[in-house]
Structure 1
Amino acid sequence: MDLVEGFEANRAHLRGVAYRVLGSVSEAEDAVQEAWLRLQRTDTADVDNLRAWLTTVVGRIALNQLRSRRTRREQELPEQLPEPVVRRADDPEPRAELADSVGLALLVVLETLSPDERLAFVLHDMFAMPFDEIAPLVERSPAATRQLASRARRRVQGAEPGPDSPATRREVAEAFLTAARGGDIRRLVEVLDPDALLRVDAGDGIHETRGAEAVAGQAAAYRAEGQVRYPVLVNGAPGSLGVVDGRPVALLAFTVRDGRITEIDILADPTRLAALDPTLYT
């Protein structure tokens, strides 16, 4: 197998690693492309496991990008939701290698970790990379790297979707949307977890509301005139794209656990919504 074939055979895996570390499709693609350029410049005669070598390279590139981004955001950028992967609810194309197995809610929690914690958790817990191979990337001992992943794991607990089937998750999401359209607060509260969390990113930072009644009140109060809703999948989870006069105005992603909605993420930033694929709503 030549370098091109070897790289292409691992491209989907590398995108998955980079996306989970960076929470951005475009930055993940940049990291994978940079890994390809480095591979071309490297004598691979002594590389026994190309997949492991490439994973390490992408991990290092992504970590550097994450550290740089964290510094910029602390200085000048507002907090924002990770870049979602959105596709039509009836899209048969499999894309699980990139995002369908990592929900937006989990990515939001990953954003709260330090860059080193995030890399250690992603590489070990999501891709089963040994700590002694991750340790050089974060410049720590294997034992200290294990502690990084352990701290991250405690933060991540509860952010992942429950065992509900896709059909159940979609049914619960549709029940919420129907109740919201009718302003039915009682029904909204019924489908929401008592400690439900609503996050809204309108471009000026993330605004949070917690508690079923508070979230239901906001949902019942917001009914844009002339809005058409399209069912979509957001990182594999049920979602809805609201469109007014042919322009997307709100992307909703639902996290469902045990038959109730535990988290709702709403992207309402006009600039980011304008970048969505128009075939999602045309």
Structure 2
Amino acid sequence: MKNKNSHSRTINDNLERMAKTLYDYWFVQFDFPEENGKPYKSSGGKMIWNEVLKREIPEGWKVTVFNDWIEKTKTGDWGKDKIEGNYTEKVYCIRGADINGLNGKGEVKAPQRYILKNNISKALKPDDFIVEISGGSPTQSTGRIVLLTESTFERFDSNIICSNFCKAISLKENEFSFNFLQEWQRLYDANVFFGYEGKTSGIKNFLFESFMESYFVIKPPKVLVERFYNQIKNIESKKQSNLKQNQKLSSLRDWLLPMLMNGQVKVE
């Protein structure tokens, strides 16, 4: 099972690199396919100097802040560890520690909690994002992110919420999901979020509102974004299928290993 999981992780790493490379080629280098199928910038596509970004961008592209992409945000909850009074709604609570697992870099051990029925509106949906807003370390900034897909929810048997140390994001247009994810991850890998952190009682906090309102990003035309979305959707589907299979194998391991250790079952 270990070799199977390692093989799946390798496949997922390759799928992630494919998505990242395509995003970089289309939306960072600006060599997306133009109307004749040629790479836009390399084949002489018109570029316009943008004073805000201090660089050239393709003609007709916009510069916005991330807030312009967002429809709403949801705060987290923690609830109770068992049914107690009006805390009756079973959920799985995603913490910052679970984000890597949801992204395929480790196991997901989101705790099962019970929240107030009035707070079930905090339940998340496909195409929502979870962003870590508290935590991190001296070498790891806050701001880790995960995109929830329909396949993500198949890995749980009840609603999902995020913890108080995270924030959920819903976009105005779901077709922009993969662009949002890739641009956010690109900035995270470039250590941009270290510049948007404060401290409360020794815990690092991501200055979410400040970043969302002030950091300028390129917003490509929707027609190109839709083409990218359709390309990446297939890659993401394969990745989530592997993660779901890995979770089943891990559950089988956790069930079988204790019985092997105490002699209840034997492998001939």
Structure with the higher helix share, 1 or 2? 1
Structure with the higher strand share, 1 or 2? 2
Q: Which has the larger radius of gyration?
A: 2
- Superposition TM-score tier, normalisation by shorter sequence: under 0.3
TM-score normalised to structure 1 length: 0.24
Q: Taking CA–CA contacts closer than 8 Å with sequence separation of 6 or more, which of the two structures ends up with the larger relative contact order?
A: 2
TM-score normalised to structure 2 length: 0.25
